[in-house]
Structure 1
Amino acid sequence: MTTVSGPVVVLSGIGKETALDLARRGARVILACRDMDKTDQACREIISKTGNQEVISHHIDLSSLQSVRDFARVILTTESRLDVLVNNAGAAGLFRKRTQDGLQIVMQINHFGPFLLSNLLLVVFVVYVSERARPGPPRSADNAAIRPDAVARIPSVGSRLAYKIVRLIVYFKFNDI
């Protein structure tokens, strides 16, 4: 397990400016991304600009629930704690495409993948918060209201509107967390 003094932050999607700011503030930044070439390049650039050697990359593909599970397993076995999870990765314009899990790809990348990741990593937050004697984790969203089969019936719309619909659903599902 890695032990660091600054906050430990997982950031899905490159989110380079966010990662740069967090690294400048002394955080251990874990960039969780699909394209490892771009991610490794971003890590090198952030380390060069900040001098913070605690900027690392790990692979995650939110269009694969197995990839999300694999990434969570890595974090749970390598990190002693997790302070912040930033679900930054997103997709648009692929509304008719399905994932290997059989889900609509924009919904999986923007909603189901981050929801699964958040829930798998919640145990780290619970343990860390409990050790510091602070209140427990935020309430969990009720996932029963959005079913993958219902999303599949959304009529074909333009990619911009599809992206806005998915982001609106995510907003309403997680606005009270």
Structure 2
Amino acid sequence: MVLTIRILGIDPGLRVTGFGVLEKIGNRLVYVTSGCIRSGEGELPQRLKVILAGLGEVIAVNQPQQVAIEKVFVNVNPQSTLLLGQARGAAICAAVLHDLPVAEYTALQVKQSVVGNGHAAKDQVQEMVKRLLNLPGVPSPDAADALACAICHAHGGQGLGALATAGYRMKNGRLIG
């Protein structure tokens, strides 16, 4: 019997949050769906609500078993970093409200896993996601980043073993819970 695991990848953003769902069937990756949740303009609480509700709907419809999300990097602008962190928090809340385990990966880990280069450009990530999932076209940058996060998780995130990183995070090259 072949093990099948459905993974939701999330690329958090306050304006645009990308999502991508794939299935790992044995060693194969199969595309399920992807897209973007746009929170629009307006007050921060309302925008966070849009992200939470949108991802809640994606989870309800697609029934993933695990979630992989990109970690926030420290930006030049501390205010932007703080806002991105709040969007990421809303995304994590959507997952945990559905009792899903969440694995976190840095952009470097995701790009390394998908492209083979941790400093790859967005268009390289988009092209590799297209190739790895046999997509007819290149996904949008946000959807591609979310799918790349799911691919990274499916590959065990930096070679740590098949899905062994679910619910853990990396610190100084070590897994911590």
State if a TM-score over 0.5 links the two structures: no
Q: TM-score range by the shorter chain?
A: 0.3 to 0.5
Task: Tell me the TM-score normalised to structure 1 length.
Answer: 0.36
- The structure having more radius of gyration, on CA atoms, is 1
The structure with the largest strand share of the pair is 2
The structure with the largest helix share of the pair is 1
Tell me which of the two structures has the higher relative contact order, counting C-alpha pairs closer than 8 angstroms and 6 or more residues apart: 2
